[in-house]
Structure 1
Amino acid sequence: MNASEQATNVELASNIATVVNLFKFEFPDAKSDLKPWKNDPETRELIDPDSIDIGFHFPGISKSWRSRSILIQIRFYQDPINNLRRAIGVEVAGFDHRGEVWRLSTVDNWSCVGISEPSPEIEEKLKQFCRHILEVFNQQTGK
């Protein structure tokens, strides 16, 4: 779900802003997009209400990223026993004019796969960024 729609309280808005700032600190030429999804019926059917989705766009196609746009989806789980909502993983996908060209998932094996993967340096920075995202959203649970 678009980050702009998920910022329903001060804590969530602050955490989203922290994620955007962490990314822009590492990659200053990226432009953030808190509404990466269209607001049409077909798209709304595909949106995961248990995610916060943020897009980043680069000017031109980056050789190290091998993409022009990045979509970050932070996945959450609401524990029915203790009622805590925590981040359980991050999905990052890179896109160019062909569509999705690579993907990194912290739920799977933490490695990039696709037809045009980012450089090893960018992949390492992305993994560190994903670790920071999980820390930011799970700090209130002490995990």
Structure 2
Amino acid sequence: MNAAEQATNIELTSKIAAVVNLFKSQFPDARADLKPWKNDPDTRELVDPDSIDIGFHLPGWSRRWQSRSILVQIRLYQDPIENLRRAIGLEVVGFNHTGEKWRLSTVQDWQFVGEVQPNAQTIDQIKFFCRQVFELFN
């Protein structure tokens, strides 16, 4: 779900802002998009209400990223015991004008898959960002 729509209270709004700042601390040229999904019926059917989705756009195509836009999806779980929303996984996906180029999922083995991959330094920075997001939410 678009991050802008998930910002329903001060705590979650602050965490979304912190995620943007964490990403920009690693990748200062990126521009955040808190509404990466269109608001149409077809898209609405695909949106996960238990995620916070933030897009990041790079100035032009990036060789180190092997993409132009990045989608960060933070998967959430409502803990019924502590009544908190916790992050249970992140999906980070790189796109260019032809579609998805690579993907990282923290749910299993934190491996990049796709037809291309970012360079080694960028991979390390993305994984560091993911660890920081887990710390923020958990």
Judge same fold: TM > 0.5, yes or no: yes
TM-score by length of 2: 0.96
Partner of 2:16: 16
Please name the residue that 1:126 is paired with: 126
> How many aligned positions are there?
138
- TM-score (norm: length of structure 1): 0.93
Give the Å deviation of 1:84. Answer: 3.0
1:93 aligned partner, one-letter code = V
Q: Which residue of 1 aligns with 2:27?
A: 27
Distance of aligned partners of 1:23 and 1:82 in 2 relative to their CA distance in 1, 3 Å threshold: closer
Amino acid at match of 1:134: F
Unaligned runs of 5+ in 1: 139-143
SS of 2:59's equivalent?
strand
- Per-residue CA distance 1:77-124 (angstroms, 9 max, x = gap): 123444332110110000001101100010021011100111111111
Q: Which residue is equivalent to 1:3?
A: 3
Match of 1:94 in 2: 94
Q: How does 1:39-50 map to 2 (within 5 A)?
A: 39-50=39-50
Q: Which residue of 2 aligns with 1:77?
A: 77
SS in 1 for 2:20: helix
Cα shift readout 1:38-83 (whole Å, capped 9, x = no counterpart): 0000000000000000000001110000000000000011234443
Across the aligned residues of Structure 1 and Structure 2, the Cα RMSD in angstroms comes to: 0.9
Amino acid in the other structure paired with 1:120: A
Percentage of pairs with the same residue? 68
> Counterpart of 1:15 in 2: which secondary structure?
helix
